[in-house]
Amino acid sequence: METFGLENLGIINIGKVHRNLSPARLVEEALRRGEGSLTNTGAIAVTTGKYTGRSPKDKFIVDTKDIHDSIAWGSVNVPMPEDTYTKIKEKMFSYLQQKELYIFDGFAGADEKYTRKFRIVNELAVQNLFIHQLLIRPDKAQLENYGEADFTIVAAPGFQCDPKVDGTNSEAAILVNFSERLVLIAGTKYSGEIKKSVFSIMNYLMPVEANVLPMHCSANMDPETEETAVFFGLSGTGKTTLSADPARKLIGDDEHGWSEDGIFNFEGGCYAKCINLRPENEPEIYQAIRFGSECENVVVDPETGVPDYDDESITENTRVGYPIDYIDNAQIPGKGGIPKVVIFLTADAFGVLPPIARLDEKAAMYHFVTGFTSKLAGTERGIQEPQPTFSTLFGEPFMPLDASVYAEMLGERIRKYQTKVYLVNTGWSGGPYGVGSRMKLSYTRAMVTAALNGEFDNVEYRHDDVFNVDVPQSCAGVPSEIMNPKDTWSDKAAYDESAKKLAKMFEDNFAKKYPNMPEEIKNAGPKSN
């Protein structure tokens, strides 16, 4: 029996091993093992138990000599001693003895110059289906000549750590060992941990080995001019929705690299939120939920198999994973030219940021490292008003190197290629959350389209002194009063107070997290006084 190098990892006495099964076979296996059920669309629906999202407090990087000085250690990149890791690995691999395992050998990086080979070993067939659809799938010849993987990820949700014995924070653990080129994922069925582990690894390898800027962003391109745009944004800001534009080719929805040749997708699939999904608002995503897709924590009627995308009783973080070719206008392979436009998306629940603003190079670097959006009142216990969320580089949990490394790479590319950068607020207008209303998607689409088409090159701008950005005063398809948020507030004094309050939050966050950033970048941010 072929074991595909598992014995070299330390997994011996191996049970049955399946390698690169087709989606149909993986669905069959998952149903046979009782891991999920089919919906009326043909997608397989699963529940992930206790963990319905990523578990950032359970992620560790193994502190080895060769990478110790290059990692930005702290509350996000938390070190684990080698001996602690080794003990967990031995116990986890002992647990996997005689288990039926599923292997997917795939690729990350659509540009062959920078492709890395990832071997994913799964205890669950449904998780193997997920990663089969999310990574780039090898053809028959590539699989036959696959050789050794550059990195291996082993996901065993049935193995649970003992925090008192293993030095973890819970029964779950995500352990990244750059020296062994190995990731262990224990105690969680949430498939996003596998996907984001690939991203974290690429975020280390690409700058260090290839001078490629890794980006937590979506990307699309004009099918005629092939001009490319990238969209940065945290969850809920509209990154996936806005990049899935039927008038443009979708390069990818989440993870990309920016090389000297252009941009390229790290993945071969999409992982979209399902909550409140509507065919009229997000037709591309809605139609991609079919056989071969994996729905996580979506409530499904047990009699009819009909999903209820409005039901958040399991979690608001309902998800679907599908291959990118389920999107009709996908760009395959996922490569595009040098970005003409960069969009930073934020959902400002304070209702004070402009709906769109132009950023110069230094302001772009400031907002890149800041990564602002806001949590809403009522979404978590104890939150009575909007709470700011600052996620470095719009992907803080996945960035192993110091923020300045990535920021300087972005700044250098903006300078070199004269890329235009805009900050787009998809949050509230006319007042804060609870008073105002969410920015209409049609308005946001109109502004993004104008940015991509160069329509803001020749319009009047107003400088916003508080947020230190230039705000275009007109946009086709958008009422003029929407362009300046203060004009949409009935209480102008309340707007001024809220704007200065948010600006002070920006200042405090920057001073705390980036004390060594150059003054010119610091000075490009908001000003509360």
Q: Is 235 a catalytic residue?
A: yes
User: Is 174 part of a structural domain of the chain?
Assistant: yes
Is residue 379 scored above 50 in pLDDT? no
Span 22-42, pLDDT tens digits: 999 999 999 999 999 999 999
Q: Is 319 a catalytic residue?
A: yes
Whole-number pLDDT of residue 282: 85
What is the pTM (predicted TM-score) of this model? Answer: 0.93
User: Is 419 part of a structural domain of the chain?
Assistant: yes
Instruction: Decide: 320 and 285 in contact? Cβ < 8 Å.
Output: yes
Whole-number pLDDT of residue 4: 80
Q: Is 254 a catalytic residue?
A: yes
Report how far apart the first and last C-alpha atoms of the chain are (Å, whole number).
Answer: 70
Q: Is 463 a catalytic residue?
A: no
Which stretches of 96-235 are DSSP H helices?
A: 125-134, 140-144, 163-166, 192-205
CATH number of 408's domain: 3.90.228.20
Q: Is 438 a catalytic residue?
A: no
Among 52, 54, 116, 293, the one annotated catalytic = 54
Q: pLDDT above 90 covers what percent of the chain?
A: 88
What total of structural domains would you count in the chain? 2
In this prediction, residues 348-371 reach a mean pLDDT of: 96
Note down the domain range covering 388: 338-522
Q: Is 325 a catalytic residue?
A: no
User: Is 352 part of a structural domain of the chain?
Assistant: yes
| pLDDT confidence tier of residue 179, bands split at 50, 70 and 90 | very high
Whole-number pLDDT of residue 236: 76
In this prediction, residues 77-86 reach a mean pLDDT of: 98
Q: Is 196 a catalytic residue?
A: yes
Is residue 380 scored above 70 in pLDDT? no
CATH number of 22's domain: 3.40.449.10
User: Is 423 part of a structural domain of the chain?
Assistant: yes
Pairwise CA distance, residues 294 & 304, whole Å: 18
Whole-number pLDDT of residue 354: 98
Looking at the fold, whether 345 and 200 belong to one and the same domain comes out as: no
Among 240, 293, 391, 392, the one annotated catalytic = 240
In this prediction, residues 162-190 reach a mean pLDDT of: 97
User: Is 251 part of a structural domain of the chain?
Assistant: no
Span 54-73, pLDDT tens digits: 999 999 999 999 999 999 99
Is residue 378 scored above 60 in pLDDT? no
Among 170, 235, 449, 474, the one annotated catalytic = 235
Among 89, 116, 195, 216, the one annotated catalytic = 216
Whole-number pLDDT of residue 381: 40
* Residue that finishes a domain, picked among 183, 210, 237: 210
* Residue that finishes a domain, picked among 210, 226, 257: 210
Among 59, 239, 249, 335, the one annotated catalytic = 239
Span 391-430, pLDDT tens digits: 999 999 999 999 999 999 999 999 999 999 999 999 999 9
DSSP letter at 120 equals E
Nearest-CA neighbor of 170 among 153, 188, 184, 189? 188
User: Is 440 part of a structural domain of the chain?
Assistant: yes
Is residue 514 scored above 90 in pLDDT? yes
* Residue that finishes a domain, picked among 195, 210, 225: 210
Whole-number pLDDT of residue 386: 65
Structure tokens at 173: 């653990």
Among 89, 195, 319, 362, the one annotated catalytic = 319
Is residue 269 scored above 60 in pLDDT? yes
3-class SS of residue 461: strand
User: Is 422 part of a structural domain of the chain?
Assistant: yes
Whole-number pLDDT of residue 376: 55
| pLDDT confidence tier of residue 335, bands split at 50, 70 and 90 | very high
Question: DSSP string spanning 37-106?
Answer: EE-TTS-EEE--TT-SS--GGGEEEE--TTTTTTS-BTTTB-EE-HHHHHHHHHHHHHHTTT--EEEEEE
User: Is 395 part of a structural domain of the chain?
Assistant: yes
Whole-number pLDDT of residue 377: 43
Whole-number pLDDT of residue 44: 98
Among 132, 181, 196, 273, the one annotated catalytic = 196
Q: Is 420 a catalytic residue?
A: no
| Better-scored residue on pLDDT, 508 or 384 | 508
DSSP letter at 482 equals G
Per the omega criterion (within 30 degrees of 0), is the bond before 302 cis?
no
For all residues of the chain together, what is the average pLDDT? 94
Q: pLDDT above 70 covers what percent of the chain?
A: 98
Is residue 311 scored above 90 in pLDDT? yes
Among 254, 348, 402, 464, the one annotated catalytic = 254
Span 101-130, pLDDT tens digits: 999 999 999 999 999 999 999 999 999 999
Instruction: Decide: 102 and 431 in contact? Cβ < 8 Å.
Output: no
Which residue has tokens 């490319």? 228
